[in-house]
Structure 1
Amino acid sequence: MPLARKLVILDRDGVINQDSDDYVKSLGEFQPYPQAIEAIARLTRAGWTVAVATNQSGIARGYYDEATLAAMHRRLHDLVDAAGGSIADIVHCPHGPDDGCDCRKPLPGLLERLGTRLEIEDLTGSWMVGDSLRDLQAGEAVGCHPVLVRTGKGQKTRVKHPELAVDGKTRLFDDLAAFTDWLLGESP
């Protein structure tokens, strides 16, 4: 059973791949950051379990379907595998903001589902890396250390919520690669 302290949970859009205000709706629009793919591989090689928890309300909105999302995630797995890493699991919330689900971040349901699937009863001490306040809130709700990256909507989140820089809990990094450098104790 993986230890929670060796788990890094990633948001997808804006952390692993380029985000879009118009949603990432197709495999052609799914553009991973090369440094993020390598960062995931480095974390894996260093003994960390890496998983993804992502809101995908574009499904509820009819912009794309589950099959399209599955194709994007297959591509992500293939890219990470080719870089020498692995993603233990990817969970997503397909619901819209008004659907009343328990899995849409900032609610903790998506991360709790991930913990169950990975057979980790307590996520306390894991890391939640995101580019939005709701990512951090979901992680904190289950005891994760919050990490905000400036990629995607991260810089806007940082400006809109300046308290994150001084709250004593949230770590701030330029991107997933910079967080990985820090976590693994490596120089950039």
Structure 2
Amino acid sequence: MDELFDAVLFDRDGTLIEDVPYNGDPSRVTPMPGAQEVLRTLRARGLRTGVVSNQSGIGRGFVTEAQVASVNARVEELLGPFGTWQICPHHPDDACPYRKPAPGMVLAACEALDVSPARTMFVGDIGADVEAAQAAGAVPVLVPTPVTRAEEVERAPRTARDLLSLIEMIR
């Protein structure tokens, strides 16, 4: 691919950190392999970074906004600062235009970072991440994990074997 980008957005759970369902405990945050290195490299190259994450546990009553904020703060302690955090707290049944696979959070992140979606890569681990990127006009990259369904991998226009492989896709 080797395209020119201004920003890279990441899904949080299963992409930047290990997926702990409805995690409200910062002590349970563990970076995914390669996350620290890829973020260090992207930032050193001057790319802006952001996080785009559905957090339906808030809407479902499993975690509070404060708990999610404390987990996000721990993510930044471990992985460094992000230029924007876009979090959708809504239940999937709420039909929120920001909740992935809708494009709202990706577009909001691009606006917050002052970048064009066309020059923004969005990295995630499931089909909803790919769909949100495509709907926003951003460039999707799927990094499959054991929870990624085979049909999501087949439909993804771009995949990377792991986070470190992203470095090869960006100049």
TM-score by length of 2: 0.88
State the distance in 1 between where 2:29 and 2:62 align: 14
SS in 2 for 1:98: helix
Matched, 1:109 2:127: no
Q: Which residue of 1 aligns with 2:128?
A: 134
State the distance in 1 between where 2:152 and 2:107 align: 26
Alignment gaps of 5+ in structure 2: none
Note if contact 2:144-2:153 (Cα within 8 Å) is conserved in structure 1: no
Alignment map for 1:21-100 (pairs within 5 Å): 22-81=21-80, 86-100=81-95
SS in 1 for 2:5: helix
- Residue 180 of structure 1 is aligned with which of 163, 167, 171? 167
Higher normalized helix content (fraction of residues): 2
Residue identity opposite 1:100 in structure 2: A
Q: Percent identity at matched positions?
A: 33
State the distance in 1 between where 2:154 and 2:146 align: 19
Note if contact 1:56-1:94 (Cα within 8 Å) is conserved in structure 2: yes
Aligned-residue Cα RMSD (Å) equals 1.9
1:67-88 superposed Cα distances (whole Å, 9 cap, x missing partner):
111111111212223xxxx411
Alignment gaps of 5+ in structure 1: none
CA positional deviation for 1:152 = 5.8
State the distance in 2 between where 1:66 and 1:126 align: 27
SS in 2 for 1:52: strand
- Residue 151 of structure 2 is aligned with which of 135, 153, 160? 160
- Residue 145 of structure 1 is aligned with which of 139, 145, 166? 139
Q: Which residue of 2 aligns with 1:12?
A: 12
Matched, 1:124 2:118: yes
State the distance in 2 between where 1:75 and 1:147 align: 25
Count residues in correspondence.
168
State the distance in 2 between where 1:130 and 1:63 align: 23
Residue identity opposite 1:178 in structure 2: S
CA positional deviation for 1:183 = 2.2
Q: Structure 1 residues 33, 42: closer, same or farther in 2, change over 3 A? A: same
Residue identity opposite 1:55 in structure 2: N
CA positional deviation for 1:162 = 5.0
State the distance in 2 between where 1:68 and 1:162 align: 32
